[in-house]
Amino acid sequence: MAAAVILAAGMGTRMKSSLPKAMHPLGGRPMLTHLLAAVSAVFDRVIVVVGPGMEALAKLAAPHATVVQEERLGTAHAARMAAPLLAGYAGDVAVLYADNPLISEATLKRLVAARQEAGLAMLAMRPADPAKYGRVVTDAAGDVQRIVEWKDATEAERAIGLCNAGVICAEGPLMLRWLDAVTNDNAAGEYYLTDVVALAAAQSRCVAVEAPEAELAGINSRAELAASEARLQGQWRSAALDAGVTLLAPETVFFSHDTVIANDVLVEQNVVFGPGVRVESGAVIRAFSHLEGCVVRGGAIIGPYARLRPGADVGEGAHVGNFVELKATTLGAGAKANHLTYLGDASIGPGSNIGAGTITCNYDGVNKHRTEIGAGSFIGSNTALVAPVKVGDRALVAAGSTITEDVPADTLALARGRQTNKPGRGFRGKKK
């Protein structure tokens, strides 16, 4: 039995943003959501500490409990805010930071297991550039004695490679006791969570659980956010390649946290996968396409320069060509929309062909309406389908038509102005 307290009250002044730091996106979802996914798999209770006016962040944390740190008096003070919700709790309590969003479930399990052998367990790392991280001071046996901040460290202490990642875990009653014992007797007048380590070491054994920098590095600036995004994308690209996906230029392909791509999919250069995308085996995603909230089924070809928006479902062997946009639209098996087309709130039957410049006029200024096109139909170029409207199976709509009424199956529909020719009125008939 273990509980997690996530400190998420920081605004992140170095982010230079009105958005709470924990809500900044990473891999297609907020930082806090990343951490919650890992924490929820390990801990039976989760409490998120937010700042005043952070209702949106509290909503993001739901269904987990939240408490508000009305005054920002330091990290130990923030952790203390969870004390009323932990009264009488006998299990372990871990304190984490929302700006360490990439800690894995496996690492958290190792932390909890290590706590069983010591009074306090903490996460630590050995970054390539320790920079100004706090150093973890250990004794000859490797047990943790204290954490010294870079600005307070001696030259010998700054040479230590083991750095603090900020996460600690202890028995609930002991954690609350040590948090209460932390003082603000320092230059900043704040209550620091790192002081808990020294208090714990004076009474019991403290151990450090090491994990890679890529997991534990904190995010406090836009530059660090970009660096974490790059590391995350690199991991996802490697995983896709290992799973049998062909990436012609891996460094130009961007995934989201929930992107699912089957083996034998080909992804060309400069493709972006937003949240909620699933691509089945044998599909081809051509260059400069953007996909979000959609399904691409086996053998389909997307792009180049295509946009699939939420609700798009592209059938087996279907084609979505250059400068074609689909939104809340099902494109049946073998159907084609190859050029310069917008299909919104529509269903297109198998084998139908949608000509260049076709649009579904799905919005009347107040409500959205659907367009239904049957199997094997042909929609001529530059057609406007004014929804709600239905086109039957094997129907033919003449190019340049504006369709406002249903078209029965096996019917030719023409809806355009009559052409009138005036002989002799061309250029040769005009005088200068």
Tokens of 344: 């919104």
Phi, psi at 67, each rounded to 5°: -130, 155
User: At residue 248, what is the residue type?
Assistant: L
Q: Among all residues, which ones are annotated catalytic?
A: 339
Angle at the Cα of 35 from the Cα atoms of 134 and 85, rounded to 5 degrees: 90
Strands 412-413 and 396-397: parallel
Alpha helices in 30-140 (DSSP H): 31-40, 55-61, 75-80, 105-115
| CA torsion through residues 53, 55, 60, 66, sign | positive
Length of the chain: 432
Known binding residues:
7-10, 21, 69, 74-75, 99, 134, 149, 164, 220, 309, 327, 342, 353, 356, 362-363, 381, 399, 416
Instruction: For residue 260, list its beta bridge partners.
Output: 278
CA distances from 315 to 56, 121, 241 (A): 37, 51, 24
Return binding residues for UDP-N-acetyl-alpha-D-glucosamine: 7-10, 21, 69, 74-75, 134, 149, 164, 220, 309, 327, 342, 353
Q: Which residues pair with 413 in a beta bridge?
A: 397
Q: What are phi and psi of 392, to 5 degrees?
A: -75, 175
Q: Could you please report the per-residue DSSP string of 148-159?
A: E-GGG--HHHHT
Query: Looking at 248-398, which runs of residues are DSSP E strands?
Result: 260-261, 266-267, 272-273, 278-279, 284-285, 290-291, 295-296, 301-302, 307-308, 313-314, 319-331, 336-348, 353-354, 359-361, 371-373, 378-379, 384-386, 389-391, 396-397
Name 367's Cβ contacts closer than 8 Å, sequence gap at least 6: none
Question: Residue 304: is the preceding peptide bond cis (ω within 30°)?
Answer: yes
Is 26 strand, coil or helix?
strand
Helices (H), 116-264: 155-158, 172-181, 195-201, 213-216, 222-242
